[in-house]
A and B are shown apart, each in its own frame.
With several copies, the nearest count.
Chain A
């Protein structure tokens, strides 16, 4: 049985990776799962300098989901490279660094700095709903998507994944813009902008007022967007948004994703990633699928 998939020349042992920001840099979850068994670890967003993030409360639970407004707190690229990267290098898994920034220059600074580091791919987050500048502002305008992709590609030594925002009228426009800019891979979806009000305290549940909605609640929107994008572009897609089970992961693959990321599910079940890999194998045995690649985009 073959579980290996190929993302722009990078071969993953299996299609299951972690979703940025939900798995730290892998260390905390390594108490629960063997990182060697993951297709890739995608890190929390890394900026050129340390970011403080938003005030608390930063999260709120919603029906079948959660809202977060962490605001991309991170130690910056220097500490990431000194501390987290060596930790990850100990494992036989691919390393994908999620990159965030406020300006194009910020992104390029990180991309350049990482170009000589043992990082397999870069995921450019142009879709964070929780920061005032950068983030989502880039991800909602096709011209900006294309421009930033082009810039990043100029400096990147590793394949570039552009992470798209679902908070747009037409995801195919953004997917095509990233492709036109030279993106090697797309990942989607980042969180949907949401809000929760605590009716008893009569106040916003997260200090930032709005936050990003994730979890199984959003899966149907994510699957739809992956399907639409897969029909619109030729580059591979990493699908995510609410994956809790092997069936959920397979839904994204059947819709056209080459790989998948598991995010919020880690909070519900720290063993989620490896259980999903096991469940996908069971499915392949049950339906006599020799190669996972047969399933990519198989429902049309």
Chain B
């Protein structure tokens, strides 16, 4: 099949926390191919806004062909999405990007899944699909969301900046507090968090995968908008500029530079 752009139907919309929403979408053409860590492009219905919004796949129900995204209102596009109700139309393209390498967390491996803020959603589909042992570390500013849905897959540790739940501080503070050990790390979240995880992983020689973010136009690797500095030469231009939308969003920690 390959990537596809479709106009499809919203199945449900729920508010998970202040400004954070969960939407299930009917998208068999996409779930049939989707892997954890991949994302979709969501288009707004407002014709003054041309570019798609990249949103990670939070969960899929492969049997039913249902796809879930969890997103925070960050601007006008996500604000619009938050008003969609069951039965409304939504325009999406996907699946996009490479996804997390499941073999790195296969049976016998001990994986640490770290999500910060709106970087938490993609970790859920990953948790569901990794066959190895899993521990989760989820970081929030204050209000929690999605955390209980991780419980079936392994120990889940929380960190909140406000101290309202779990460790007061960030995910690194929680890792230290609980002395969490692992063979491999998978992480998604704000850049400062990814930076410190990268440093921690390199220092402790832990295999580590980071999911990166950058402004996008095409979402499929053609326009070269969404590059990040890479230590290896990139496949496209050989200038150490990997495309987040195509070569990523998931990169080996040592591969990317901030």
Which residues of A are interface residues toward B (Cβ below 8 A)?
A: 21-24, 28-29, 31-32, 44, 50-53, 56-61, 63-66, 68, 70, 73-76, 79, 215-216, 264, 266-271
CB distance from B233 to the nearest CB of A (A): 9
Given A63-B48, A66-B51, A268-B50, 6 other A-B contacts at CB below 8 A?
A: A24-B223, A51-B237, A61-B51, A79-B238, A264-B217, A267-B217
Which of B80-88, B129-137, B196-204, B224-232 faces chain A? B224-232
- In the complex, A215 Cα to B225 Cα: how many Å? 16
> Given known contacts A61-B50, A63-B48, A270-B5, is B215 in contact with A53 (CB within 8 Å)?
no
* Chain B residues within an 8 Å CB radius of A44: 224
Complex Cα spacing A78 to B3, Å: 29
A70 near B50: Cβ-Cβ < 8 Å:
no
Q: Which of A50, A68, A271 contacts B225 (CB 8 A)?
A: A68
- B interface, size bucket: 20 to 34
Q: B-side binding surface: helix, strand, loop or mixed? A: loop
**What are the residues of chain B within 8 A of A66 when measuring CB–CB?**
50-51, 217
B40 to chain A, nearest CB (A): 13
Instruction: Quote the shortest CB–CB distance from A201 to chain B (angstroms).
Output: 12
Q: Which residues of B contact A (CB under 8 A)?
A: 2-3, 5, 43, 47-52, 93, 214-228, 236-241, 246
A-B interface, 9 closest residue pairs, ranked by CB to CB distance from nearest: A24-B222, A28-B222, A59-B225, A75-B237, A57-B215, A52-B239, A31-B2, A267-B217, A28-B220
Q: How far is the CA of A215 from the CA of B223 in the complex (A)?
A: 14
A24 to B48, CA, bound (A): 25
| Chain B residues positioned under 8 Å from A60 (CB to CB) | 215
Q: Is A56's CB under 8 angstroms from B227's CB?
A: yes
What are 21 of the A-B contact pairs (CB < 8 Å)? Answer: A21-B223, A22-B222, A22-B223, A28-B218, A28-B220, A44-B224, A53-B224, A53-B227, A56-B228, A58-B225, A61-B51, A63-B47, A64-B47, A64-B50, A66-B50, A68-B223, A70-B225, A73-B227, A73-B239, A268-B52, A270-B220
Q: Complex Cα distance A51/B217, Å?
A: 20
Closest-by-CB residue of A relative to B246 is A28
Q: Is the CB of A50 within 8 A of B222?
A: no
Given A28-B222, A32-B3, the answer on whether A264 and B227 have CB atoms closer than 8 Å is no
Q: Are A267 and B221 in contact (CB under 8 A)?
A: no
CB neighbours of B216 from chain A (8 A): 59
Residues of B within 8 A of A270 (CB): 3, 5, 93, 218, 220
B80 → A minimal CB distance (Å) = 13
Task: For B238, give its contact among A75, A216, A268 (CB under 8 Å).
Answer: A75
CB of B218, distance to nearest CB on chain A (Å): 5
Q: Which residues of B contact A63 (CB under 8 A)?
A: 47-48
Chain B residues lying within 8 Å of A24, measured Cβ to Cβ, are 221-223
How distant is A281 from chain B, measured CB to nearest CB, in Å?
21
What's the minimum C-beta distance from A213 to chain B, rounded to whole angstroms? 12
Nearest CB in chain B: distance from A72 CB, A: 9
Q: How far is the CB of A27 from chain B (nearest CB, A)?
A: 8
Q: Which residues of B contact A57 (CB under 8 A)?
A: 214-215
> CB-nearest residue of chain B relative to A50?
B239
Q: Once bound together, how far apart are the Cα atoms of A22 and B219, in whole Å?
A: 11
